Amino acid sequence: MTANDNVTPTTTAGPKPGVTVDDIPSSAPLPASQLATIKATAPVLQDRGEAITKLMYENMISAHPELHNVFSTVSQVTGRQPRALARAVLTYALYIDNLPHLAHTIERIAQKHVSLFIQPEQYDIVGTYLIAAIKQVLGDAATTDIVDAWTAAYSILANLFISIEKKLYKSEGDWTEWRKFRIAKKRPEADGIVSFYLEPVDGVTPLPKFLPGQYVSLQLYIPHLKYNQSRQYSLSLGPEDDDKFYRISVRKNRDDKLKIDGLISNLLHDKYNEGDTVELSHPQGEFILNPSDVSKEGAPVVLISAGIGATPLVSILHALSKPTAVKRPVSWIYTARSKHSQPFGPEVQSLVDGPLKGRAWQHVHLRLGHDGKVKGRLDFDTLDWDGELFVQDSRAEYYVCGPEEFMLYFRSKLVELGVAKERVYLELFNTGDVEEA
């Protein structure tokens, strides 16, 4: 576990080569006394975990400024990163004797690490400063037994991630470091949303295949910070559409609550043009659909998105439109402020009217009324539960992407109607995991 993470149980969709539940032991191999010690510290971590992780970050990055290149500066400023790690540590304590409960989340984190080229020695750095922060924050309460137990527990989890990530790195062949890509095309998609078509500078194609819904990490040098920063962007074309470039679609971003502009997204919009270069990692991610899974023949796919959350879903739609894909009915429920802020509108319609005709439907819900007033969140109860959501079909799968509150709202409503939670997949564009109340 690195300090980028939040080990909250989550569901994923579909297989990812190189990572299996068999990689996860049933329990951390610790003596019973240390397992008991770890679980007994959970209430303390719930109360003081964020203080521990905040101090850890401050001390660690001060001593190792090169880690600015790894951790999100914006997530540090917002407090999301310390909060995510605090939840990770707490959840590990709660499930240390039932690690398979965390298998999907461990898989998700491992793929994120590989997309950032995390190395084994960085686990040692995080572990050193995490344990030191536990000692400092807990003071006399940090007994030798507690410190020894947490040192051993962290080492076990770190080695588990290192092992899984080694397999993932091996599966990626020669792509072992940040790779330069040139912006071949920069095209507007909607108000505040631009697509970048990225081709490898080294000219080596075809590019590696990916599964629809996956992302790449993109790294830029930030002049005023004097170090690199990276962000994850969903690939917004299908894996069979073109093997000479990747497409990402980026929204110009601002946090209205904290008045923080999107660091990478806004730089891409304002400063990067055709011919400029960026650095990418190999595609990763577990928010995926396997379009050739014959066991899913006829099972409905429901795509639910708000705003820029359409990006991984349009990749899924492209994949389902190919002749090699199994035939599944598709419903896409899309909400946007206005028609001008809806990305991929004509592109999606051409798929619905073309290769997916008769088995795919697009339902667009605009929040800007004819009177010029912006309506609130899309009301779930106004939807056609059978025609749009297929709630009566126990095989239906739901892919939801948008703001956290939007995703949690839709998942809770679907579960209320009897949809199994494990059939509802969420994709978060932020550090850590969905922060449920």
Residue numbers annotated as active site? 123, 165
Half-sphere exposure of 26 (CA within 13 A, CB side): 0
| C-alpha span between 88 and 7 (Å, rounded) | 4
8 A C-beta contact, residue 421 and residue 411:
yes
For the record, the structure tokens of 322 come out as 């190919």
Number of C-beta neighbours around residue 156 at 10 A:
16
Cβ neighbourhood burial of 181 (10 Å; 0-12, 13-18, 19+)? buried
**H/E stretch holding 228:** strand 227-234
By C-alpha distance, which of 42, 21, 22, 39 is closest to 30? 39
Judge if the upstream peptide bond of residue 206 is cis by omega within 30 degrees of 0: yes
DSSP states of 292-353: T-GGGTT--EEEEEEGGGHHHHHHHHHHHTSTTSPP--EEEEEEESSGGG-TTHHHHHHHHH
8 A C-beta contact, residue 194 and residue 249:
yes
Give the residue carrying structure tokens 């997530």.
Answer: 75
